[in-house]
Amino acid sequence: MVASRLMARLREHDWMAAAVELVIVVVGILIALQVSNWNQDRIDRNRAQGYYRRIHADLRADLKNMDATLVFWRAVSAYGDAAIADGEGKRDDAQGWKMLLAWYQASQTMPFVASDAAFGEMRSAGELGLIADEGLRKRLDDYYSLSGVGGQSIIREQYPEYRLQIRGLTPWHVQQYIWSRCFTESSFITQQFVDCDAPIGAQEASTILRSYRDSPALLNQLRAWMSTLRVSEIVLVNDRRDAKQLDAAVTRAMQD
Is 30 inside a domain boundary?
Answer: no
Q: Is 99:209 a contact under the CB 8 Å cutoff?
A: yes
Is 8 inside a domain boundary?
Answer: no
48-104 pLDDT, tens digit per residue, is 888 899 999 999 999 999 999 999 999 999 999 999 999 999 877 778 999 999 999
Is 139 inside a domain boundary?
Answer: yes
Q: How many domains does the chain have?
A: 1
| pTM exceeding 0.85 | no
β partners of residue 184: 192
Q: Is 80:225 a contact under the CB 8 Å cutoff?
A: yes
Is 24 inside a domain boundary?
Answer: no
Q: Is 79:95 a contact under the CB 8 Å cutoff?
A: no
Give the distance, in angstroms, between the CA of residue 206 and the centroid of all CA atoms in the same chain. Answer: 41
Query: Residues of the chain whose pLDDT is less than 70?
Result: 1-28, 30-44, 146-152, 187-189
Is 103 inside a domain boundary?
Answer: yes
Is 94 inside a domain boundary?
Answer: yes
* pLDDT at residue 224 in the model: 97
* pLDDT at residue 148 in the model: 47
Burial 139-170, CB ≥16 within 10 A → b, else e: bbeebbebeeeeebebbeebebebbebbeeeb
Residue range of the domain that includes 211: 63-255
Rg of the Cα atoms in the chain: 32
- Residues 213, 206: Cα–Cα separation, whole Å: 10
Is 31 inside a domain boundary?
Answer: no
Say if residue 206 is exposed, middle or buried (CB neighbours under 10 Å; 0-12, 13-18, 19+): middle
Nearest to 212 by CA among 76, 16, 27, 80: 80
Is 18 inside a domain boundary?
Answer: no
- Residues 89, 167: Cα–Cα separation, whole Å: 22
